[in-house]
Structure formats: C-alpha cells, structure tokens
Amino acid sequence: MDSATNQPIDGRTLLNAFQAAATWFASNVQHVNALNVFPVPDGDTGTNMNLTLQAALKDVQPDGNAGVVAERVYRGALMGARGNSGVILSQILRGLAHGMAGQATITPTTLVNALEQAAQTAYKAVIKPVEGTMLTVIRETSETARAAFHADMSWGDLLSVVLQGARDSVDRTPTLMKLLRDAGVVDSGGEGLFVLFEGVTAYARGEVLEQKASPSDTFAMAFDDVHSDDDFGYCTNFMIEGSAIPYEQVRTTLADMGTSVVAVGDETLVKVHLHTLRPGDALNYAVQWGSLSAIEITNMDNQRRDLHAASGQATAVAEPEPPTTEVTDVGVVAVVPGDGFRRIFRSLNVGAVVTGGQTMNPSIQDLVEAVQALPQDTVVILPNNSNVILAAQQAAQLTQKRLYVLPTKTVPQGMAAMFAFNYALDVEANVEAMQRAISSVTTAEITTAVRDANVNGIDVRDGQTIGLLDGTLVESADDPTAVIDQVLERMELDAHEIITIYYGEQCSEDQAQTLAEHIATLYPEIDVEVQSGGQPFYDYILSAE
C-alpha cells in the first residue's frame, strides 16, 4: 500500500491492513487490559477485543473486492464477539462494512464515509450510550477525519489524521468520566481502538512498531469455546457464495441435518456451522447453491481430547442440554459460572445453560447455538452478567426465534427471575414478573483484587479482599471477615428474610458453613442457607431476598 497516494486499494490490501491491525493488537492485549478501572477478575477489555478480532479474521478468504472482504470480516466479528467491548467492536466493523458495501476498491473518501457509518452503527447498538468510552473515540475520530478531509488527501495523510484524532479522543476520556479521572487512566476500549488504528497506519507506512508491552499469551479461540462435553460427531463449518441463495430454505434444510446449527448471511453469502455424523451430506446439499469455501471438518472427540491434554484454561462453553420432560411454549437460556449454579438452574427447568460469566464471556455464537438447540420458538435469555447483556441482545438479531433478553446482571438476579417464571402464563406476563423479581434481590460478591486501583474513592491494593454490592465496589481490606461484615451491613438485611451463600470452587463447604454461622450470629432474625455455586474467582456470592 503506497501511503503517499490516494489511489484506490482492493480487497486483498484491505485484508492485509485488517490482519496487520489484529496482529499489532494481539501483541498489546496486556497493555489494554492494564487500563481496566475495576480490579475484579473479569473478562478484560483487551482480551475480549482480541478474541473478537481473531474470530473476525479466522475464516476470511482473500478476495479482490474490498466490499466483500469488509463484509466477511464483520460477519466473523459478529458471531465471535465477546463482552461489551467485543460487541461494540463488531458493530464498528459492521458500520465500516456498510460504508464499503458494493465497492470493489476503496479510496480515502470511502474510508471517511465508512468511519462515520461505524460511529453511527456502534451508537445504535447500545441502548444507553456512555460518553468517555470507545463509542466517544470512534465518533470523535470520524468527526476529526471529516473535518480535515479534502479531495486530494493521500492515504498516509488521512491515516495520520485518524490516528491523531483517536489519540486525542482517548486522552480526553478522563474528562468525560469521573471513574477514569479518579483512577488516573484513559478508557481501555478507546485505547484498544487507537491500537488498531496504529496497526493499520504502520502497515500503510511499511513501519515496524515497537511493542507497548510484553507479548500476551495467545488468546486463540479454544475448541471448548463453542462445544460442550456432550457434543459428538463432526463439527462442520463452511461458507456458501452465490448469487441467488434461498437463504431461509437453506437454514431450514441444514437445521434438519445436524445439531447446534447456525447459518448466518443472505442471498449472496451464507456462513454455516453444524454438528453432524455425515458432513458430506451437508456439503453436497450446499454446493448446489454456490461455491463452497472455508471448509473445516473436525472430529470433536479427537479435538477435545487433544486440547484438554494441552491446556486446562477456563473458557466459556456453550452447553445446551436436553430440554426438560415437560416441553412448554417458552424456553430459557441462562449464562452461569460453575457446576453448582449449573445444577441449580437446570433444576429450575432452564432448557440450556451456557457456562460463562466473569473472565469467561460467551460469544454471540455461543448464545445463538444455545437458543437454536431448544425446541421452543420463544426463548428468554438470562445473561446474569453485565458484560454479557449486549452480546445477548445482538444474538436476538441472528435467530428467527422470538427472543427476550432480561438484563440480569448477577446470578442471583437470574435465579430470582426463574423462581418467578410461571409456565401457565404467556411470555409477556412472565417477562414482566421476572423483571419485577430481579429488583427484589440484593447481590454481594466477595473476591480478590487483581490490580491496584482507586474506585469510588476506595483505595484497592492487588491481593486485597474486595466486596461488591450489586456490581459496585464498596469495600476493600486485608481482612476478608472485615470486608464481609461491612458488605453485610450495607445489604440492610433487616429488610430481607433470607440470605443464601453460594461458595466458589476455591472454598470448601466447611468454610461456607462457618460463614453461615457467623452471619446467623450477627443477624439472628434472618434465615441463612448454603449452596455450592462452584464459581471461579469469587469466594462467595451472597443473595439476600
């Protein structure tokens, strides 16, 4: 790419630029993660953006048409998007694709228009946009590019303007958000966007950049990210490219050929994922509608065995299970951490469980597969984590089923919603009742800080015990008991009848029982129960009702 000219570039050059940006981002994941304000062990911004980028580029085949390449990158990002930052990034890529649609080659003019589309699309994806975030950065960057642009502008000059505009916008984020200002950092998602623009600009100039931080661990999409232990047969992935593909007919036919079927696209391009014992049947059917590409067939038994032997890293796992014997008109998908919570939600007749939550944000594809696995045409999703809600809302756009997303931010909220679920009521009445139940629960979480921070005026040191109340950090100290006592006081237990202790995988039942006795001594009027949640990273999740 000659950055000194404004000559059009084709799809292959565009793909190279995307790949250069993703490679540069991958080497700086920890730099972006380090800017996260909250010291909790969560699915960090850099990690989620990196996983989304890898999914975006994984199946993209080189093509001379820039519009086609941009569309393929976006579609990959959408299905693989994880966490709020990953979903917003996928929407930025979607806007870029719309701005380049139908263009075999693109010019600097195209890029300026596409950046504006990217900003508009990203803002529309978020119900309540917050300034001082990556949304602000993409919007202000597009505005800077538009203000500086002229017809004779070269690629190099435009990318320099974009890069500086992104840098300036990121540096302003603390002025727009008190949380960032107090912590003394810029917005991590905005910084992630700057890193991407930096990678593209370096590629255009033929430069080799010096890493901002030590290379991070590889965050490749693991097999267990999209498959459960119960899956068998062949995981079959391919793309159909044609001119008049009967999209709905293809989706319906493929759904009868296997399980965990996801088919996304339109009359010109369809991306397919399914589990089947006869992958050849699916390919033979699909080839009549166009040319096949990105064909990948994996023996799931063999791959699971090999990957489990190589790595024990925890990942989000889409785990649709057989529906309950009483099949009703409304199915439920719940995202939960830990085997204990999984068993509890299954006992409440949740039809499909996606294992995920803190540090394990499931992708949009994970959620779509779980929805598609249920026999019902109407499905309620319980994200049970604030960093999963946006992915669940995007999943609703990728299925023909009637989907309702309840914005449950904690596992106890999701549990309260299920207790309020009445199979005798229609879905609207159920959603209303479940929504009311969510507000009746107070959730506390006890964990260990993973970085130094100052949040809400509270100084936190790495390794201290911290307490969160309904997602807000409220206590930090070296003594775990002191933190728990302060959090309990803030929960106003006098207004509740029962408190349940869900202990994590790093705690024993004896430890949880000791805590229960401690709480019962402090608050003799309240009933105390103990359950195994099995959640990672969080010693205790406390639910007061």
Q: Answer with the residue of higher pLDDT: 451 or 501.
A: 501
pLDDT of 327 reads 58
Q: What percent of the chain has pLDDT over 70?
A: 88
pTM of the model: 0.69
pLDDT of 160 reads 95
- Mind listing the pLDDT tens digit for each residue in 58-88? 889 999 999 999 999 999 998 888 888 888 9
Residue 48 confidence (pLDDT) above 50: yes
Which domains occur in the chain, in start order? 11-205 (1.25.40.340), 223-310 (3.30.70), 317-438 (3.40.50.510), 442-544 (3.30.1180)
User: What is the distance between the alpha carbons of residues 163 and 185, in angstroms, rounded to a whole number?
Assistant: 19
What is the sign, positive or negative, of the torsion defined by CA atoms of 332, 336, 342, 348?
A: negative
On whether the CB atoms of residues 378 and 349 are closer than 8 A, the answer is no
Residue 93 confidence (pLDDT) above 70: yes
Distances, alpha carbon 187 to alpha carbons 135, 367, 416, in Å: 10, 27, 33
332 pLDDT band (50/70/90 cuts)?
very high
152-161, 263-272, 387-396: least confidently modelled range: 263-272
- Mind listing the pLDDT tens digit for each residue in 357-366? 666 788 888 8
User: What is the distance between the alpha carbons of residues 166 and 136, in angstroms, rounded to a whole number?
Assistant: 10
* Highest mean predicted confidence (pLDDT) among 161-175, 336-350, 449-463: 161-175
Residue type, 8: P
Q: b/e for 190-214, b at 16 or more Cβ within 10 A? A: bbbbbbbbbbbbbbbbeeebeeeee
Q: Residue 10: which residues within 8 A CB-CB, separation 6 or more?
A: 64, 65, 66, 104, 105
Q: Residue 510: which residues within 8 A CB-CB, separation 6 or more?
A: none
On whether the CB atoms of residues 230 and 56 are closer than 8 A, the answer is no
User: What is the distance between the alpha carbons of residues 442 and 440, in angstroms, rounded to a whole number?
Assistant: 7
| Helical segments of 420-527, H only | 427-438, 480-490, 509-522
Among all chains, which residue has been given the structure tokens 């994996």?
298
